[in-house]
């Protein structure tokens, strides 16, 4: 048996949530509650995030910053506070963003700009951001069902214009094809290191409507988020060794490991040169090892979604799924046609505590506890013959 120990991992996993505002319904304000305090209550994803509320339409003076034909204050629909702004059908409204910033740099550190919109019936709403010297940014969404929906533009998409003389200075335009309601114009800084570089040697971060998954000098992947695109990605799990994403697009599942392995709906793709150059990684995806678990300590899970041939290996996750029934576990691993490289075991049922991993007398620091209690074991080893792996919780 060859033991290859490129790096050992012991960091704990970090759970992740989406970081841009979600759809909400009208919410009644609490007595004497400022709108600035109500907004993170109505939109929990804003908590802990840097943002600036520019207009809330609670006062008529807010209209000074707008050019809004066929519009008026509305007290029957609100995202926060007691009022919103009703925009007429087939109108183009302009918000003087530069004046609202009051001398603050724009975009500065902010990554998103926009507002919340709703409509009684289906309506198409387009938001344009025009900024001196940059090409306009445009985003269009459909709103319906009487729910408030965030209409935000990713400011990281700003690109210098070929003809800056035609641009305006920090202006938002809202174009509607039906009557809609507008509330809470704001700018947001959603820069977020979901997994910092110190955990597992890689970084998982969000900025605007994109995720970046990167291990410096090895690989880097950029993914559109579901908040920015209908077929974008949401994070299911993120930690020191693995990240899992889901999507409603053509490819629905993506798993990435920090050594450069990735699985796109179960199809293996090497992201780092070390993984691409080692044919065993691809071979073991199609013809993996045989894994046996003594009945008295647990069992191999053969019916999980993503296990194509019911052998206990989940192709979507690139991992063997195991249910433990005690605080000790034994895994007997028999390689198939190819060596087994850095095998992954995803173990449920272990009691709380530190998990010790022993490979034929050698202690290997390879266990990570996920926030839901699952233990993820990534063995930084290469196996060319049968081997017994012992685990126990202390």
**Over the stretch 118-161, which tens digit does the pLDDT of each residue have?**
998 899 999 999 888 788 899 999 998 789 999 999 998 888 77
The Cα–Cα gap between 193 and 206 comes to: 7
Q: In which band, very low, low, confident or very high, does the pLDDT at 9 lie, cut at 50, 70 and 90? A: very low
Sheet with 290-292, side-by-side order of all strands? 290-292, 328-334, 387-393, 355-359, 362-364
- Residues 6 or more apart whose CB falls under 8 angstroms from that of 165 comprise none
CA distances from 94 to 28, 159, 165 (A): 28, 21, 19
Confidence of residue 168 (pLDDT cuts 50, 70, 90): low
Report pLDDT for 342: 95
pLDDT given for residue 15 in this prediction: 39
The pLDDT, as a whole number, for residue 3 is 43
Given pLDDT bands bounded at 50, 70 and 90, which one contains residue 1?
very low
Residue 31 confidence (pLDDT): 59
Average the pLDDT over each of 2-11, 112-121, 269-278, 286-295 and give the range with the smallest value: 2-11
Per-residue confidence at 290, pLDDT binned at 50, 70, 90? very high
pLDDT at 316 over 50: yes
Pairing between β-strand 66-67 and β-strand 92-95 as defined by DSSP bridges: antiparallel
pLDDT over 80 at 16, yes or no: no
pLDDT of residue 26: 58
Q: How many helices (H) and strands (E) does the chain have?
A: 4, 33
CA dihedral 49, 43, 151, 192 (to 10 degrees): 30
Report d(CA 21, CA 19) in Å as an integer: 7
Task: Give the predicted TM-score (pTM) of the model.
Answer: 0.86
Residue 374 confidence (pLDDT) above 80: yes
Whats the size of the chain, residue-wise? 394
Is residue 308 predicted with pLDDT exceeding 90?
A: no
Is the pLDDT at 40 greater than 50? The verdict is yes
Strands in 157-312 per DSSP E: 171-176, 180-189, 192-195, 203-207, 210-215, 219-224, 233-238, 242-247, 253-257, 261-264, 267-270, 290-292, 298-300
pLDDT over 50 at 8, yes or no: no
Q: Has residue 361 got a pLDDT over 80?
A: yes
Number of Cβ within a 10 Å radius of residue 31: 4
- Exposure pattern of 135-149 as b/e (b: 16+ CB <10 Å)? bbbebebebeeeebb
């Amino acid at each position: 048996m060859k033991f290859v120990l490129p790096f050992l991992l012991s960091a704990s996993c970090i759970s992740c949530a989406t970081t841009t505002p979600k759809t909400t319904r009208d919410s009644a304000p609490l007595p004497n509650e400022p709108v600035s305090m109500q907004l993170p209550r109505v939109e929990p994803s804003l908590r802990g995030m840097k943002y600036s509320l520019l207009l809330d339409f609670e006062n008529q003076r807010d209209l000074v910053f707008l050019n809004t034909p066929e519009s008026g204050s509305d007290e029957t629909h609100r995202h926060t506070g007691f009022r919103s702004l009703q925009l007429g059908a087939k109108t183009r409204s302009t918000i003087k963003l530069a004046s609202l910033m009051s001398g603050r740099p724009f975009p500065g550190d902010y990554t998103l700009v926009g507002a919340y919109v709703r409509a009684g019936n289906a309506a198409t709403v387009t938001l344009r951001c025009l900024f001196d010297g940059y090409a306009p940014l445009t985003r269009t969404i459909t709103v319906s069902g009487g729910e408030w929906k965030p209409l935000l533009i990713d400011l990281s998409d700003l690109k210098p214009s070929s003809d800056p003389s035609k641009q305006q200075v920090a202006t938002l335009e809202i174009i509607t094809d039906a009557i809609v309601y507008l509330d809470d114009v704001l700018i947001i800084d959603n820069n977020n290191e979901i997994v910092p570089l110190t955990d597992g040697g890689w970084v998982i971060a969000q900025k605007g409507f994109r995720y970046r998954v990167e291990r410096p000098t090895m690989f880097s992947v950029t993914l559109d988020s579901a908040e920015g695109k209908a077929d974008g990605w949401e994070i299911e799990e993120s930690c020191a060794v693995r990240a899992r994403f889901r999507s409603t697009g053509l490819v629905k599942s993506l798993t990435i490991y920090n050594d450069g392995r990735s699985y796109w709906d179960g199809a293996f793709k090497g992201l780092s040169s070390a993984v691409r150059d080692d044919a065993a990684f691809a071979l073991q995806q199609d013809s993996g090892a045989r894994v046996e678990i003594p009945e008295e300590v647990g069992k191999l899970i053969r019916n999980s979604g993503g296990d194509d041939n019911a052998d206990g290996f989940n192709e979507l996750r690139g991992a063997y799924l195991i249910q433990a029934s005690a605080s000790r576990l034994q895994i007997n691993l028999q390689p198939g046609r190819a060596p087994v490289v850095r095998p992954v075991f995803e173990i449920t049922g272990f009691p709380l505590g530190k998990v010790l991993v022993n490979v034929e007398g050698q202690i290997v620091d390879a266990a990570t506890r996920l926030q839901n209690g699952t233990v993820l074991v990534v063995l930084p080893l290469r196996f060319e013959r049968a081997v017994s792996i012992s685990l126990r919780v202390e």
